[in-house]
Structure 1
Amino acid sequence: MEKKTILSSGFGLGFYIPALLLEQQLIARQQPVEVVVFENFIVGDKKGKIAESRFDYHKNFALARIAQKMPIDIRDSIDFDAVEELLQTWEQEKRREFIALSGHWIYILDMYSERVGIDALDVTLLYVDSELSPSWKGVKKYVPDYSTRYREQYLFDAANERVCFRLDVTDEPIVPYESRPYRFTVHGGGWGMGTYLAKVEELEREYALDLSIYHESDFDLSNTNHRYWMVDPTWEAWQKDPSTGRHTFPRFGEVRAGEPPAFVNDIHATHHHLFDNMKQAKGIISKPGGSTLIDSLASATPIIFLDAFGPHEQKNADLWIKLGFGISYETWKQADFSLELLQPLHEALAAQRTAFPNYVDALFDTIK
């Protein structure tokens, strides 16, 4: 069985975590697979600035929203010597089957297709968001015909107002809504972006919160009504675990006042640990990233949508609201943060999720 190559990016976690979920579930089906992260193929000084940008965008969401409107030619950042080594390895191993989650990989796929012939390749461009996100829009500006060479596949389709596939996170049963504690998971995606910081004061008057924070200075950790969670700031998506040679889910753990963070370093994890909070929550309060839609559908947890990062995320929110799976924060606030508005959203998610085909099952059927 040929090795499947999943082309991801660690710039944010929205592509990275779905890539690892795919990898884990294909491994469980005895399918040889490897995740390759784009940031390992950009020049060192550009890679070194990622952490700086991440912090700037966390602190200034308006700046992040402006930046995503300006497509850049990522080829200016590519380390073509490293790419040459990668392509030689692919050629020696006769790699033919690829799933690309980030548009940045188009340039490298095109280079490879020139070597081995486009007809020899089986490439799926897997869109996690319900319309093109910035990395795809950026490459379309410079290579407008890329989609004519490769197969496109949406998980969620805003244009046709439908879910095409679900991507399961675990094989555990859905936690019944009535047995879930009165807690909400609040996060800003992998970079802690968005308006969630500003909502905590009014939310905490109503409910206890599981807050996914970017830095310990974001909140007063002495408020023991809430729980605080954080990704280990020393962890980077493009680094592999030396003992397994594979990329790992983020080291994630609870942060308590006066105690060192207890980050979980489970190299054999099959899913991201934030999901363990979301599957128990009454709702997810977040900006509408595509990966959050995956989590919502997998756990049957409604999303209360905060401000979108860009048009693609707004389309995500509009789709989820149209399908009866989510609600805008303002609408929920106007209803005095009513749980009665959320219960039907959970029920719709729980009732409909299995009607959507499982992407990995469909993919594995194709492989067979």
Structure 2
Amino acid sequence: MNDRRKGVREFMGKRKVTILCSGFGLGFYIPGLLAANGFKKRDIATEVLVFESYLEQDKRDHIADSRKAYHNDFALANFSARMPMDIRGSIDYAQVELLLEAWKAEERYEFISLSGHWGYILDLYREKMLPNPIHVDLLYVDSDLAPSWKSLKKYHPRYDEHYYNACLYDTDKMAIRYEIPVPLGTPLPFESRKRRLVVHGGGWGMGTYQSKVPELVGHNYGLDIVAYDWNEAKPDPDHRYWMNDPEWCAWVKSANGLHEFPPYIEIAGEDTKAYPAEADHHWLFDVASEAMAIVAKPGAGTLIDSLASETPLILLEPFGSHELSNLELWESLGFGIRYEKWREMDFSVDVLKEMHQAIKNRPGERMDYVDHYCSRVTLMKG
């Protein structure tokens, strides 16, 4: 028994969990950083990597064009979400080989992937490490397969054969399995919140959020609107405009060589201010935590913000079938309401309070995903 404990201690001493994100949407990036913080609190080292860093340069250069096109045309974005893509033709394999050799030299054994695009690279590494096994969690932050996972499944149907499927949500039971907390203490009670709504279109500014602003303005709510670019911001005394720093890019490391939360800007005319990135969470979480509701499409990051801050969602048109599944889950749990239904209720504050209470009093153990991971994987290695 003493020898076994010594082995576990030695394993824990050199342990590093590699968290594989994507910059395509902040919902496949921010949760990875939050998980990394969770491991750090448990004295487990991590490295966060972003898939787009390992694309061929010309493919990477076109991402900004896609982002702008999807922002301008939500129907096009939804069409693209239904079209499978074989990402293998876009990967820079020379750069990937250098990465895999570095992992092998460091004896990396633990991985968490938030994007299906990493599946092919993980398979290459698994083969390189044979006969030694690696452990991979495929972390699904939506309640159904997002486009990267659907594409992977189409071209590689048995992609999860050697890996662990870690699902935050159980759609069969309409329940939450695991949560990714945001480290900000106790959520504000509803009575202490400002009569404000956060309005946004996710990390890429997609969807119908802009069209709802004129209607919301007339119902006695202050608005915190996340602008996609400077042209969208029209600040006035009742409505604040915010923006991720447009110079920031998820797959470009910061000056200290790490992937970090985005810096941001509060747009207020002559009083416009730029702020550095927060150390352990996305800045928008602070704004959402003081609001009565979030008006947004049901992306993965928005669900995490809603749970952690106990802020209900006013559900806008989803992006893809995975976000439709998210919408149905939040609606079923009583954590969100479709915008059209809330409008029929004359934008009721009482409805928002009921949903806040539903989130606050949600059943279950509230199992932290990182705790769940550590209990499984430590036992496996020990």
Normalising to structure 1: TM-score of the pair? 0.96
Change in CA separation of 1:3 and 1:366 when aligned onto 2, cut-off 3 Å? same
1:209 to 207, 223, 226: 223
Q: Residues of 2 paired with 1:298 and 1:277: CA distance?
A: 13
Residue of structure 2 equivalent to 1:248? 260
Q: 1:263 is matched by which residue type in structure 2?
A: A
Letter in 1 for 2:231: S
Q: Does 1:298 align with 2:308?
A: yes
CA displacement at 1:119 relative to structure 2:
5.6
Q: CA deviation at 1:155?
A: 0.6
Equivalent AA in structure 2 for residue 356 of structure 1: R
Q: Is 1:366 the equivalent of 2:376?
A: yes
Picking from 311, 328, 334, the partner of 1:324 is 334
Tell me: CA distance 1:185–1:141, structure 2 relative to 1, closer, same or farther (3 Å).
same
- Are residue 340 (structure 1) and residue 369 (structure 2) matched? no
SS in 2 for 1:148: coil
Match in the other structure for 2:3:
none
1:114 and 2:127 correspond: yes
> Is residue 188 of structure 2 the alignment partner of residue 178 of structure 1?
no
CA–CA separation in structure 1 for the residues paired with 2:119 and 2:36:
20
1:124-203 equivalence runs, <5 A: 124-203=137-216
Query: What is the SS of the residue equivalent to 2:136?
Result: strand
Instruction: Answer whether contact 2:116 2:152 (CA < 8 A) is retained.
Output: yes
1:266-320 Cα offsets, whole Å, 9 max, x none, are: 3x61000000011111000000111111110101100010000011101101011
Aligned twin of 2:71:
58
- What is the CA–CA distance in structure 2 between the aligned matches of 1:334 and 1:225, rounded to whole Å? 24
| SS of residue matched to 1:34 | strand
| Count of aligned pairs between the two proteins | 364
Name the larger-Rg structure: 2
Structure 1 range deviating more: 345-354 or 103-112: 345-354
**One-letter amino acid of the structure 2 residue matched with residue 279 of structure 1:** S
Report the AA paired with residue 208 of structure 1.
G
CA distance in 2, matches of 1:354, 1:157: 13
> 1:367 offset after TM fit, Å?
4.6
Give the letter aligned to residue 26 of structure 2.
L
The whole-number CA distance in structure 1 between the counterparts of 2:132 and 2:330 is 37
Amino-acid identity (%): 47
CA distance in 2, matches of 1:360, 1:100: 13
Contact 1:298 1:353 in 2 (8 A): no
In 2, the alpha carbon distance for the partners of 1:253 and 1:275 equals: 14
Could you tell me which runs of 5 or more consecutive residues in structure 1 were left unpaired when the two chains were aligned: none
* TM-score normalised according to structure 2 size: 0.93
- In the alignment, the residues of structure 1 paired with residue 153 and residue 374 of structure 2 have an alpha-carbon distance, to the nearest angstrom, of 29
Q: What CA RMSD, in Å, does the superposition of the two structures yield over aligned residues?
A: 1.3
- Structure 1 residue 333 displacement after superposition: 0.4
Structure 2 residue matching 1:126: 3-state secondary structure: strand
Deviation string 1:208-238 (CA, Å, 9 cap, x unpaired) is: 10001101211423x2210100011110001
